[in-house]
Structure 1
Amino acid sequence: MKSLSPKDPVAALTFSRLRALNAVTETGSFSAAARRMAVSQATVSQQVRDLERALGAELFRRSANDMIPTPLCQQIYDIAREIEDDGLKIAELLRRHRTMEHGELRVGLGQPLPGMALIRGFRSRFPGVEVKIEMGSWGRIVEAVAEGRVDVGVLPEPPEQERFRRRRIQSQSVVAIVHPDHPLAGRPMVSCADLAAERLIFRTAGSSTQRVVDDGFRRAGVAPRPSIVMDTRDGVLDAVSHDLGVGFMWSKGASRQAELTQLPCREMSRERPDYIFALRSTATPLSNAFFALDPEQSERPSSGF
């Protein structure tokens, strides 16, 4: 392959020299260009001098502290600006490629499902990405997304606010859950009046489940007192599995339910949508990929998780 002569103008047009030319043209001085490029003034000055020497042409006229581009420089700049912009686009593509292969995604879940199924689908597509999961109540996950502690959240009916983007993925209702030996276990459906006579296990404030339960009892005109209040969904499942009372959960909220019996409740039977949601201002390639997942395909078994 023929090697280029040191005086060949194409060999002189290195990316670093063109960047220096662009910066001096746009800022009007070596010092300002150096600050923009985060290099020394001497480096910028040397890049421009080397380019002028290699091209055999003056690119800037010195006037006091100003660098005035010559007509030739201006013509070169118009093209060099496009070259630098294209270089930045290539750098962004490479950054995204590295992020999609070895990045990190933080996910906030109010309950295991459907979030875990989505994570399984995500991991099958991006096995090198580290997934960090924060579990918590509805209020805690909304707060985590709003404060940027997680990149995306999966919740029933997250706030419909302009700062959040949302995507509906499924619907489910809140059901009562009882031990298989409980007297209500054989009923096809119960009412809030039926449940009010039982020992009830509630969640703490901030739980999406408890908000639906409270609303159901309110509309039924009854105000029962719980016998136990738990701060986690798993605590409710454990309490019900020990036959300590009637609890509540989302109908699709867990893959393992300790052989408990679900009872649809008349006043709580309205299905409510689950969403993936995130801040609009913090979209990333990974969070966008999570948003694009097909929930039905994500539920299929995968070797990636």
Structure 2
Amino acid sequence: MALSLTRIRAVNAVATAGSYAGAARQLGISQPAISQHIKGIEEEFGVRLFQRRNGHFHPTPLCTELCDAAERMVEAENAATRILNRQNTLLDGRISIGLGNSMPGMALIALFNKRYPGISISVETGSFEEITRAVIARRVDIGVLPNVLDDGRFRRELLVRQQVVAIAHPDSELAHLRSLTCQQLMQAPLIFRTKGSSTQRIVDRAFRAAGFEPAPLLSLDTRDGVYEAVANGMGVGFMWREGTGRTGGILRIPVRDMDRLYDEVVFMPQDEDGLLSRAFFATTRAFWAASQLE
């Protein structure tokens, strides 16, 4: 026995209007459709929903109880609609962003917030693999990562082009050099990221191409951990050049074996679309255009 929300609405409308005609006007459907919904419920469940007195339909006690449940169902439906519509309003919507690097993604979010201050923004951070999985699983609406494959799964918008650099403490023996090679880096204690990091993949590739297999002093699972280890003078680490807004005297030194530029992009599943995502992509285009004027 099916009891759909449409049939429940018909019951509630008749109870409110007192007639099939009034319920039909209220719901914007035909009077025969209202009659069919009411009679269908009464026949299928063997109940009486209304008593007719003086030309009006009066709900039975059972019908009154059913109408109370109907109102709760309608409230739940309206709440669900509001949740879905939050993805399509620039006044008080919500959007979730997955960041692989704090920067330049956070600068982009700041620009988006300036343009649309009413939008609530949640941010998830993680490795390249973690953020990619979050976007695919729709756990976040949009991802911001470098070196995302253009394989047809995602809509993409260019945010910035950047390279991986070495980061060193000012007191490091390598601090006076304007650029480095993998051979020179083999003489320093190295701080690596764990697997799953886009930065580490590029570092590993560069050392292999140069014929080296370094044994790092530390392998850390976050970019902040690498940065803090370098800041404490433990060795030389690696990061994307624009990967953080921190200063603090930590040096960013180009590595000649890692001089290729990679695209950092904003991306989302190809089959997703909405007002908020379009606004975020437009903000990304504005961010890229402004960076070209600097």
- Could you state the TM-score of these two structures normalised by the residue count of structure 1? 0.68
1:1-305 counterparts in 2 under 5 A? 39-40=9-10, 46-47=20-21, 95=85, 99-293=89-283, 294-296=286-288
Deviation at 1:167, TM superposition (A): 1.1
Indicate the SS of the match to 1:185: coil
Q: Distance in 2 between matches of 1:194 and 1:289?
A: 45
Residues 9-62 of structure 1 deviation map (CA, whole Å, 9 limit, x = unaligned) = xxxxxxxxxxxxxxxxxxxxxxx9x876863279599249977xxxxxx998xx
Alpha carbons of structure 1 residues 39 and 273: separation in structure 2 relative to 1, 3 Å: same
Indicate the SS of the match to 1:282: coil
> Which amino acid counterpart does residue 134 of structure 1 have in structure 2?
E
Q: Distance in 1 between matches of 2:7 and 2:184?
A: 72
Structure 1's unaligned 5+ residue stretches are 1-31, 52-57, 61-90, 300-305
Alpha carbons of structure 1 residues 97 and 190: separation in structure 2 relative to 1, 3 Å: closer
Q: Distance in 1 between matches of 2:262 and 2:89?
A: 34
> Which amino acid counterpart does residue 243 of structure 2 have in structure 1?
G
Deviation at 1:257, TM superposition (A): 3.5
> Which amino acid counterpart does residue 251 of structure 2 have in structure 1?
T
Q: Distance in 2 between matches of 1:221 and 1:239?
A: 26
Once superposed, what is the RMSD of the aligned Cα atoms? Answer: 3.2
Aligned to 1:64: none
Alpha carbons of structure 1 residues 215 and 257: separation in structure 2 relative to 1, 3 Å: farther
Indicate the SS of the match to 1:154: strand
Indicate the SS of the match to 1:107: strand
Indicate the SS of the match to 1:180: coil
Residues 84-116 of structure 1 deviation map (CA, whole Å, 9 limit, x = unaligned) = xxxxxxx99xx5797221111100000111111
Alpha carbons of structure 1 residues 149 and 97: separation in structure 2 relative to 1, 3 Å: closer
Q: Distance in 1 between matches of 2:247 and 2:182?
A: 22
Alpha carbons of structure 1 residues 99 and 49: separation in structure 2 relative to 1, 3 Å: closer
> Which amino acid counterpart does residue 219 of structure 1 have in structure 2?
A
> Which amino acid counterpart does residue 287 of structure 2 have in structure 1?
P
Q: Distance in 1 between matches of 2:262 and 2:108?
A: 18
Alpha carbons of structure 1 residues 263 and 40: separation in structure 2 relative to 1, 3 Å: same
Indicate the SS of the match to 1:144: helix
Q: Distance in 2 between matches of 1:211 and 1:165?
A: 23
Structure 2's unaligned 5+ residue stretches are 33-80
Q: Distance in 2 between matches of 1:37 and 1:282?
A: 32
Q: Distance in 1 between matches of 2:21 and 2:7?
A: 12
> Which amino acid counterpart does residue 280 of structure 1 have in structure 2?
Q
Deviation at 1:269, TM superposition (A): 0.7
Q: Distance in 2 between matches of 1:188 and 1:109?
A: 30
Alpha carbons of structure 1 residues 37 and 218: separation in structure 2 relative to 1, 3 Å: farther
Calculate percent identity across the aligned residue pairs. 41
Q: Distance in 2 between matches of 1:267 and 1:38?
A: 69
> Which amino acid counterpart does residue 250 of structure 2 have in structure 1?
L
Asked if the contact 2:13–2:23 (Cα under 8 Å) also holds between the matched residues in 1, the reply is no
Alpha carbons of structure 1 residues 105 and 246: separation in structure 2 relative to 1, 3 Å: same
Q: Distance in 1 between matches of 2:218 and 2:115?
A: 42
Indicate the SS of the match to 2:265: strand
Deviation at 1:118, TM superposition (A): 0.8
Asked if the contact 1:96–1:285 (Cα under 8 Å) also holds between the matched residues in 2, the reply is no
Asked if the contact 1:118–1:298 (Cα under 8 Å) also holds between the matched residues in 2, the reply is no
Deviation at 1:181, TM superposition (A): 1.2
Alpha carbons of structure 1 residues 96 and 224: separation in structure 2 relative to 1, 3 Å: closer
Q: How many residues align?
A: 235
Residues 171-206 of structure 1 deviation map (CA, whole Å, 9 limit, x = unaligned) = 000001111111111111111011012110000001
> Which amino acid counterpart does residue 182 of structure 1 have in structure 2?
S
